[in-house]
Structure formats: structure tokens, C-alpha cells
């Protein structure tokens, strides 16, 4: 039995999955970092692979951009395929001026403006948090691998483009490190469906200073993030 957006058979997907937004990232990482990687999904081009990292079975698949797309894959991966650990590996725009591009962030919590969140919780506010065990393991792995990380809060938005220059002021005042578009719904759904979730992000740009990573730098820090994430398998 498959799910609506994933054509894999039950059993084809590992208990631990990495979720980059970009399906071509999933393909590239599966082909360069995993052994015996098999593609289990091509529906809508949202490529998914299962293979082995240091002998441990692990999957990686694109989630698409934004919380609507992410929610579809997170639901189906947990409910149909029994996935237990979901680790987003993505990018964010830093809103703290002193965070440089290439910095790896382990997201402890995700505030946000997701319509799905307000549809479910109404006027109440759910604090979407990462799973502590995954967070702790990622932190320990980063120390072992000598990769510098910052642990903290991020913001997930439905709207990438916005013309208000002060949009992030109050969020920076409240300790938010960066902005992306997926983690809030990932954390919320994982908790609701009894799975574990974490987001590991590399800073692709600084929204305050306008600094942007060169593609070479982005590649290096992206690989650092991947190495941490695969240690969780």
C-alpha cells in the first residue's frame, strides 16, 4: 500500500529520514553519501531514497518548500510508512546581525505564522519544539565532528517575500536566530503523531546585513549539516 504522494511500499522507508526541501538535494546526497541507495519515490518529482550511512539504514527525501508541502510528506511518512525520526536539513535566513552565512543552527523551537497551526489551535498558541533526544544527539555529534553549531529558536513563515523592513524586529528581540518555512509544522505534526523531529539549518543569507553565501561556502556548510544529521540514523 502506498500513500497519496509517495509510491513506496511499506517497509521501503527507514525509521530515520532526512528531509531537505529540495528533492535534487536528496538525490545528490543519496548518490554521494549513502551506499546502496535505492530511489523509492518519484511522484511529483519529490525524490526519496533509502540507503546506508556507516552501515545504518536511513532515508532522505525532499519535502518541498513551505509548511503546506512539508505537512503532506510528514503526515504520510509517519502514518503510512511508520517513520519515527524526521530530521529537516535545510537553510534559513539569519535575522540576528552577528550570525554569519554558513553557520549551522540546531533548532530547539519554531515560532511561526502557519495557517495550519491557527486552523488547529484557534487563538491559542502552541510552542512547537524539537525532540530533546534528537537535539542532544545532534549536539554531541557536532562536538565529535568539530562542527560549530548554535542552538536556539527559529521562525517558520508562510511568506518568503514581504516588504515590511521591520518585519523581524520583534522576533529578533525575542531571540529568534533565523527564518525558514518548514520547521513549525514538522515539530507540531511529529508531536501529534508520536514521532520525533529536529531541524538542522545552515544560514544561507543574513536578512539584516544582506550577506549571502557563495555556492562553494554553501556546499561546505551544507555537507557539515548533513554529517551531523546522518549521525542520528
Active site residues per annotation: 205
Check binding of 213 to ligand HPA (CB under 6 A). Answer: no
Q: Round to whole Å and give the CA distance between 201 and 93.
A: 10
CB of 23 to ligand HPA, least distance (A): 16
Residue among 47 and 207 whose Cβ is closer to ligand HPA: 207
Is residue 200 left, alpha or beta, with left meaning phi > 0 and alpha meaning psi from -120 to 50?
Answer: beta
Interface residue with ligand HPA among 58, 77, 207, 229 (CB under 6 A) is: 207
CA dihedral angle for residue 19, residue 183, residue 71, residue 191, rounded to 10 degrees:
100
Burial class of residue 33 in the structure, from the number of CB atoms within 10 Å of its CB (0-12 exposed, 13-18 middle, 19+ buried): middle
Q: Round to whole Å and give the CA distance between 231 and 233.
A: 6
| Nearest residue to ligand HPA, scored by beta-carbon proximity | 93
Residue among 41 and 206 whose Cβ is closer to ligand HPA: 206
Residue among 122 and 210 whose Cβ is closer to ligand HPA: 210
Residue among 105 and 233 whose Cβ is closer to ligand HPA: 105
Interface residue with ligand HPA among 41, 50, 204, 221 (CB under 6 A) is: 204
Residue among 61 and 202 whose Cβ is closer to ligand HPA: 202
Task: Return the SS3 of 175.
Answer: coil
Check binding of 205 to ligand HPA (CB under 6 A). Answer: yes
CB of 170 to ligand HPA, least distance (A): 16
Q: Are 24 and 18 in contact (CB under 8 A)?
A: no
User: Residue 181's closest CA among 87, 76, 84, 93?
Assistant: 93
Binding mask 164-183 for ligand HPA (x = CB under 6 A): ---------------xxx--
Binding mask 45-84 for ligand HPA (x = CB under 6 A): ----------------------------------------
CA dihedral angle for residue 112, residue 115, residue 116, residue 118, rounded to 10 degrees:
80
Binding mask 85-114 for ligand HPA (x = CB under 6 A): ------xxx---------------------
Check binding of 20 to ligand HPA (CB under 6 A). Answer: no
> What is the tally of helices (H) and strands (E) in the chain?
7, 10
Q: Helix, strand, coil shares of the chain as percentages rounded to 5? A: 35, 30, 35
Q: Provide the binding-site residues for ligand HPA, judged by CB under 6 A.
A: 91-93, 157, 160, 179-181, 204-205, 207
Amino acid at each position: 500500500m502506498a500513500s497519496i504522494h509517495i509510491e513506496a511500499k511499506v517497509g521501503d522507508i527507514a525509521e530515520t529520514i532526512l528531509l531537505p526541501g529540495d528533492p535534487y538535494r536528496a538525490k545528490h546526497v543519496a548518490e554521494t553519501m549513502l551506499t546502496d541507495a535505492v530511489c523509492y519515490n518519484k511522484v511529483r518529482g519529490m525524490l526519496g531514497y533509502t540507503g546506508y550511512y556507516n552501515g545504518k539504514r536511513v532515508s532522505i527525501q525532499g519535502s518541498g518548500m513551505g509548511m503546506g508541502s512539508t505537512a503532506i510528506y510528514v503526515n504520510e511518512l509517519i502514518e503510512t510508512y511508520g517513520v519515527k525520526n524526521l530530521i529537516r536539513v535545510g537553510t534559513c535566513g539569519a535575522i540576528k546581525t552577528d550570525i554569519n552565512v554558513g553557520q549551522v543552527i540546531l533548532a530547539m523551537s519554531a515560532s511561526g505564522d502557519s495557517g495550519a497551526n491557527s486552523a488547529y489551535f484557534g487563538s491559542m498558541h502552541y510552542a512547537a519544539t524539537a525532540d530533546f533526544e534528537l537535539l542532544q544527539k545532534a549536539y554531541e555529534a557536532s562536538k565529535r565532528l568539530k562542527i560549530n553549531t548554535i542552538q536556539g529558536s527559529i521562525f517558520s513563515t508562510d511568506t518568503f517575500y514581504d516588504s515590511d523592513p521591520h518585519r523581524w524586529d520583534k522576533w529578533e528581540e525575542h531571540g529568534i536566530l533565523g527564518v525558514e518555512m518548514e520547521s513549525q509544522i514538522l515539530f507540531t505534526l511529529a508531536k501529534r503523531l508520536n514521532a520525533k523531529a529536529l531541524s538542522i539549518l545552515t544560514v544561507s543569507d543574513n536578512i539584516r546585513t544582506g550577506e549571502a553565501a557563495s555556492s562553494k561556502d554553501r556546499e561546505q556548510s551544507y555537507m557539515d549539516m548533513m554529517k551531523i544529521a546522518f549521525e542520528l540514523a
